[in-house]
Structure 1
Amino acid sequence: MGLRRWTHGLWVVLGVGLGGCAGPRQGTYEQRGFDTPSNSCRTHPALCIGPESVLPGVRAAEVAVVVAGARAMLDEDAKRSVESVLKECADLARSQVLLRYHEGKFPTPAQCKEQVYNAQSESVSRAIWLGSQMHAVALECVEQKFDSMMPGRFSIEPTYRFDRRTGTSTLISKEEVQLLKQPRFRHELKGTLTPDFVIHTGDPLQVSVVYDFKFPCTNVSEPPDWRSGGSSLSGPTQKESYMQAFRLGTRQVLRVVPRLGIFE
């Protein structure tokens, strides 16, 4: 199904900025103590993007969202506007986390491999730990922006069971996911799919576009590859699994990479 398809419905045009993304919200990732994006870029140019090397933290993006019937698709203008917000949230997350935990510097490859402890007292690589922190900030930013842009038309980190034999997907409730994250039940989540950000028709099983944030640990010039979605390196990638589970085309399953942009 092509992304250039125009759908009928109500257009909602909103001007949004990222100024509200940095504020803490109860029960979510704590963001106090961070510098503002613009100040961060002035003092740490390596973290910045764009022709003037200034992170557009207060730049407004006009977002056109199509509210339509079954299997609503984003047209190209709406898709570009949505993705501009996703890119800014990714850039903001990278800048804030590196400033707070790494003095605004990129870790070296050796530092990325070092073992640290996460909130569950589990030993993980610094790359995984930093990526987790950046995901939390980015998704908090996304939630704040899209709550007003397209309420009811998106999900953040939804979890699905995909039956490859029947080609059907089932949404797992947030409450059940939290229960299954306990060590004794964690095996029940094996093989489930949890994309970062999903745009849908209002029914989370009717997915229009999937976006996954990818946060490389060190500074890179190429986007990281899609991870294998299975237990075997020869298994399907995350992208392939999303395409199969939601019956999407390659341009409807995308990576969001700070500084670099959006990639298939």
Structure 2
Amino acid sequence: MGLGRRTDWLWVLLGMGLGGCAGPRQHTYAQQSFDSVTNTCRTQPALCVGAESVLPGVRAAEVAVVVAGARAMLDEDKKRSVEFVLKECAEQARSKVLLRYHEGKIPTPEQCKEQVRNAKGEAVSRAIWLGNQMHAVALECVEQKFESMMPGRFSIEPTYRFDRRTGTSTLLGKEEVQLLKQPRFRHELKGTLTPDFVIHTGDPLQVIVVYDFKFPCTNTDRPPPWREPEGAPRGSPTQKDLYMEALQLDSSQVLRVVPRLGIFE
């Protein structure tokens, strides 16, 4: 899609600001080695963030200052450009799925409650089934757009394990997540967090902003609420609360993307 020349130079600046020392492009789930630091990073550490920027001899306090500066790099113009793409992907996903599976018509509340079979043969509501299809299409769109616009600075559905007792989060590798999705291991994924789309500094644990797609089954003038963890007591922390706590973000950095309606905290 074309956002015009103004957006093009915004992305050039974004690439310079966030990616000046990224080194060879690699999958966002991979952890980078300290040995991959470039000469530019050595001479201008303020431009470099993520695992590759932790140079021998750099004090923890200095690293914290660098990371804090990196989190502020997504200024309002760049943020608007990011969100324009996300909203367009959400709109396209909703339209494509409804056209493909529902003759382009908006489901009624009654149809949303009907039970259908997913790919695993499990009975789920039509609302959940359609939402899953829309998520898949939207995330494919996002990956295609951002791979050229912001290579190495985003993750699609990263999985974090958050230990609330210690306040620490770890990133699970893609292969590990696939293994844990097998029925006999699935219980080990309980309590993990998997946001839809994350922009980060180059290190997926240094998150700048989180976006979750929300696809209402039928038309509504209100954004769907943040979900509470499945099986949790009423009043438990929501997805948003947990993202904020686990990734050390404030409310403005954890957002919902809703087709037709826009971006919401």
TM-score (norm 2): 0.76
Match of 2:250 in 1: 249
**Deviation of 1:59 (Å):** 5.8
Q: Please state how far the C-alpha of 1:62 moved relative to its aligned partner.
A: 1.6
The amino acid across from 1:259 in the alignment is R
Per the alignment, residue 48 of structure 2 pairs with 69
Tell me the distance in 1 between the aligned counterparts of 2:233 and 2:178.
26
Q: Give every structure 1 segment of 4 or more consecutive aligned residues whose post-TM-superposition deviation is greater than 3 Å.
A: 58-61
Q: What is the match of residue 197 of structure 1? A: 197
Q: What's the counterpart of residue 150 of structure 1?
A: 150
Identity of aligned residues (%): 75
Which amino acid in the other structure matches residue 247 of structure 2? Answer: F
Q: Which position in structure 2 is the counterpart of 1:229?
A: 229
Q: Distance in 1 between matches of 2:3 and 2:103?
A: 25
> What are the residue-to-residue correspondences of 1:104-253 with 2, within 5 Å?
104-229=104-229, 231-253=232-254
Give the AA of the match of 2:101. Answer: Y
Runs of at least 5 residues in structure 1 that lack an aligned partner in the other structure: 1-16, 18-57
Cα offsets for 1:90-146 (capped at 9, x unmatched): 000000000111111110111101111111111111000000000000000000000
Output the CA distance in 1 between the equivalents of 2:162 and 2:206. 14
- Could you tell me which amino acid in structure 1 is paired with residue 180 of structure 2? L
For 2:235, what is the secondary structure of its paired residue?
coil
Superposed, 1:7-156 pairs within 5 Å as 17=1, 62=7, 64=10, 65=14, 66-67=17-18, 68-70=47-49, 71=67, 72-73=70-71, 74-156=74-156
Count the aligned residue pairs: 208
Q: Partner of 1:259 in structure 2?
A: 260
Name the CA distance, whole Å, in 1 between partners of 2:118 and 2:170.
Answer: 30
Query: Displacement of 1:232 after TM fit?
Result: 2.2
**Larger strand proportion, structure 1 or 2?**
1
Flag the structure with higher helix content: 2
State whether residues 154 and 204 of structure 1, in contact with CA within 8 Å, keep that contact through their aligned partners in structure 2.
Answer: yes
Q: What CA distance in whole angstroms lies between the structure 2 residues aligned with 1:229 and 1:263?
A: 20
d(CA) in 2 for partners of 1:125, 1:173: 30
User: In terms of Rg, which structure is larger?
Assistant: 2
Deviations 1:237-257 (A, max 9, x none): 000000000110100000000
The separation in 2 between residues aligned to 1:233 and 1:129, in whole angstroms, is: 24
Paired residues of 1:229 and 1:241 also in contact (CA < 8 A): no
RMSD, aligned α-carbons: 1.3
CA distance in 1, matches of 2:203, 2:216: 32
Question: Which amino acid is 1:154 matched to?
Answer: F
**Residue type at the aligned position of 1:217:** C
- Give 1:235 shift: 1.2
Q: Quick one: distance in 2 between partners of 1:195 and 1:173?
A: 15
